[in-house]
């Protein structure tokens, strides 16, 4: 109670209520701050962030193997079924056109059993089985190449990014990309093939694994 000017008592309920409210808010604020500090202190460093940066750095340092000649043999157990991949690519087509497309794709996508790669200072040569090698400058210059499978002249260029050599073949009716992904020592190559055409409802894609070594 407070005493007024005339000695009468004035209730102090409002004052007490406001004082209690300020005290409660202060305690809540201090409790929240303490909890926030404790929570921040126990949060561990996210391991994925460091791993992602490390993986990105490792990827940037990857490159093609040393210059030289390499010979590879297909690992059939680790390679895709080309026939099944072709069937999947043409499956949305109607019966008549599906048969034509399947025959065309089968002809130009035989299963290679051997691959030869010759890496030079400014040129790369890639050959499959007994076919003549495809030679192209590493600077991306477009060259003409007679495709013995289709009996037509394709426009070819290559590009290098890290451990991957990409061959791009441009024909009148479509584009084929061979992405050769090398291990650092050149002992294995993953060949990722992508064929696109305005006549296909979807791209044809498949992967083949080759094992080998640098020729002495």
The better pLDDT of the pair 191, 18 is held by 191
Indicate where the chain has its CATH 2.40.128.20 domain(s): 63-214
The better pLDDT of the pair 8, 212 is held by 212
pLDDT > 70? residue 159: yes
Q: What is the pLDDT of residue 42?
A: 42
Rounded CA separation 1/45 (Å): 56
Which residue(s) pair with 188 in the sheet?
211
pLDDT > 60? residue 172: yes
The better pLDDT of the pair 192, 48 is held by 192
Rounded CA separation 173/214 (Å): 36
pTM for this one? Answer: 0.71
The better pLDDT of the pair 78, 9 is held by 78
CATH of range 63-214; options 1.10.760.10, 3.40.50.80, 2.40.128.20, 3.40.50.150: 2.40.128.20
Percent of the chain with pLDDT over 70: 71
Rounded CA separation 152/44 (Å): 61
Rounded CA separation 50/52 (Å): 5
Count Cα atoms within 13 angstroms, Cβ side, for 129: 8
- Tell me the per-residue pLDDT of 25-76, one tens digit each, with 9 for 90 and over: 455 455 544 544 444 344 444 444 444 444 433 444 478 889 999 999 999 9
- Give the pairing type, strands 174-182 and 188-196: antiparallel
């Amino acid at each position: 109670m407070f005493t007024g000017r005339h000695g009468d008592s004035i209730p102090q309920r409002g004052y007490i209520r406001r004082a209690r409210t300020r005290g409660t808010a202060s305690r809540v604020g201090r409790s929240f701050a303490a909890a926030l500090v404790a929570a921040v202190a126990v949060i561990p460093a996210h391991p994925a962030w460091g791993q992602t940066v490390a993986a990105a750095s490792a990827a940037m340092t990857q490159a093609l193997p040393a210059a030289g000649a390499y010979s590879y043999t297909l690992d059939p157990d680790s390679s895709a079924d080309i026939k099944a991949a072709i069937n999947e690519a043409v499956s949305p087509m109607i019966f008549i056109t599906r048969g034509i497309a399947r025959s065309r794709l089968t002809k130009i996508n035989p299963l290679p059993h051997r691959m030869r790669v010759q890496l030079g200072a400014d040129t790369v040569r890639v050959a499959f089985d007994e076919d003549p090698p495809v030679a192209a400058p590493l600077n991306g210059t477009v060259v003409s190449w007679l495709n013995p499978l289709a009996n037509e002249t394709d426009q070819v260029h290559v590009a290098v990014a890290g451990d991957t050599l990409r061959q791009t073949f441009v024909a009148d009716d479509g584009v084929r990309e061979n992405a050769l992904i090398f291990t650092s020592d050149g002992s294995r190559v993953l060949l990722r093939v992508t064929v696109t055409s305005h006549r296909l409802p979807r791209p044809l894609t498949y992967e083949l694994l080759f094992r080998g070594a640098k020729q002495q």
